[in-house]
Amino acid sequence: MNDLVWLEIKKENLISNIKTLKNLAGSKVLISPCVKANAYGHGLIETAKIFISAGADWLSVNSIEEAKKIRDVGINRPILVIGYVAESELEKILDWDLKIFISNFDYAEKLSMTGKIKNKIAKVHLKIDTGMHRYGVLMAEAEELAKKIKKLPHITIEGLATHFATSDEPLNLSYFNRQLENFKEIVPKIKNLVGNDLIIHCDKSASLLLCRHGLADLVRPGIAAYGYYPSQDVAKLAQEKNIILRPALSFKTKIGQIKKIPENSCVGYGCTCYTKRPTVLATIPVGYYDGYDRKLSNQGYVLVNGQKAPILGRVCMNITIIDITDCGQVIEGDEVVLIGEQGQENITVEQIANWAKTINYEVITRLRESLPRYYI
Ligand SMILES: Cc1ncc(COP(=O)(O)O)c(C=O)c1O
C-alpha cells in the first residue's frame, strides 16, 4: 500500500451495529441512520451502501449536498434532510425526492410554490421544539402551523419529529422526560389534524439504546451505528443490558524518519518538550490537517510494534513526532496505529477524545474527508 495515512473500516462491525439497532427499534419501526458529516467520518457513499445492505430503510443526512452525492450514485432509498436547507435549494428537495424538516410557515409556503411550478408534492416532517430550542416550531404554535401547512396544495405532512437535548445523560432523566412528555402531548393533537399515518420520530442513539417509549415509527441513530456510545453513562447502562456496539474504524499511518537524539533536546515547534533521556524519535506523516487534534500535543501515544509510543511536542499540520525508544526494532515504513488495535494494545476513539478534551463524535467527524478509506 502506498498510502501514508489511511482509515480501515470493518464492514461487518457496521452491519452488526445496524442489526443491533434494528432489533432494539423493533420490526415495525423504520431505521434511518445518520450518514451526515461524511457518515461520521466513515465515508458517505460506502457507508450508506453498507447500512442499506444491513437493513437501513431510510438515510438521514444534514444537507442537500450530501443527499445529492447519495442520489448521484443511484441510491434511491428515502432520504431525510435533518439540517437547514436554504430557500434557494428548495427545488432540489423536489428534484431528488427528499424529505425535510419544516418548522415555519413562510418556508412551507415557498416549498409549496416550488412544488406547484414542478407539479410535485413535497413531503415534509414537522419538527417540534419540545425543549431543545434549536430548530423546530414551539409547542404552543405547532397545531396552528400544521393547520396552515395542511391547506397548502403542494405539501404533505408525512412525519412529526423532535430532538432530545439530554438523552445522553441517563443518570438525570428529568429534562429528557419533560421533552418526552411534551412530545407525547403533541403527537395525538397533530395526528388529529393531519391523520393517523404520520411517521413519528424522536430517537437518536442514546434514547434508542436506553428508552422504550413506544412512540416511534422511525429512529435516527447516528453515533451508535458506527459502534460508539453517545456518552460513558449510556455505555455503562447499555452494556449492562448486553447491548454491544462494535467500533469499525482504525486510523493508521507509517513511520517516516527515525533518529536518535541526546537527553535534554528540544522536540518540535515551540520547544514544548525536552527529552528526559537519550531518545529514539520517529516522525509520522499525520497532523491536525488529517483530523489528528493539535490538543494531542504532548498527550497520549500511538502504537508501534504493539507498544505505546508517546507523542512528543506539538502535533504539526502534517507531521507528529513520537518516542519509539521502547518499541523495539522499528524501521521506516512500519505501520503506526493512531486509533484501533495493534498487538495486545488498543487506542479507542474515546481515549483520543479524552486526551483532546472533546467527545467521540468530534474525533471521528473531523477525520479528513479526502483520506483513503478501505472497507475490509
Ligand atoms: C436531528 C438529529 N437526529 C439524530 C441525530 C443522531 O444523533 P446521535 O449521533 O447521537 O445518534 C442527530 C445528531 O446530531 C440529529 O441532529
DSSP single-letter state for residue 1: -
Name, in order, each residue with C-beta under 8 angstroms of 270's C-beta and a sequence gap of 6 or more. Answer: 313, 314
pTM equals 0.97
pLDDT per residue as tens digits for the range 89-118: 999 999 999 999 999 999 999 999 999 999
Cα separation, 22 vs 29, whole angstroms = 8
Provide the pLDDT confidence category of residue 276 given band limits of 50, 70 and 90: very high
pLDDT for 198? 97
Name, in order, each residue with C-beta under 8 angstroms of 180's C-beta and a sequence gap of 6 or more. Answer: 130, 164, 202, 211, 213, 215
Q: Is 1 annotated as a binding residue?
A: no
Give the three-class secondary structure for 260: strand
Cα separation, 201 vs 57, whole angstroms = 14
CB of 163 within 6 A of ligand 1: the answer is yes
What element of type H or E holds 70? helix 64-72
What structural domains does the chain harbor?
A: 11-240 (3.20.20.10), 250-347 (2.40.37.10)
- Residue 129, burial from CB neighbour count under 10 angstroms (0-12, 13-18, 19+): buried
pLDDT per residue as tens digits for the range 318-373: 999 999 999 999 999 999 999 999 999 999 999 999 999 999 999 999 999 999 99
pLDDT for 1? 76
pLDDT for 132? 96
Pocket test for ligand 1, best of 163, 209, 210, 218 (most atoms within 8 A of CB): 163
- Determine how β-strand 155-161 pairs with β-strand 301-304: unpaired
Per-chain mean pLDDT for the chain: 97
Find the 285 Cα to ligand 1 centroid distance in Å: 33
Q: Is 113 annotated as a binding residue?
A: no
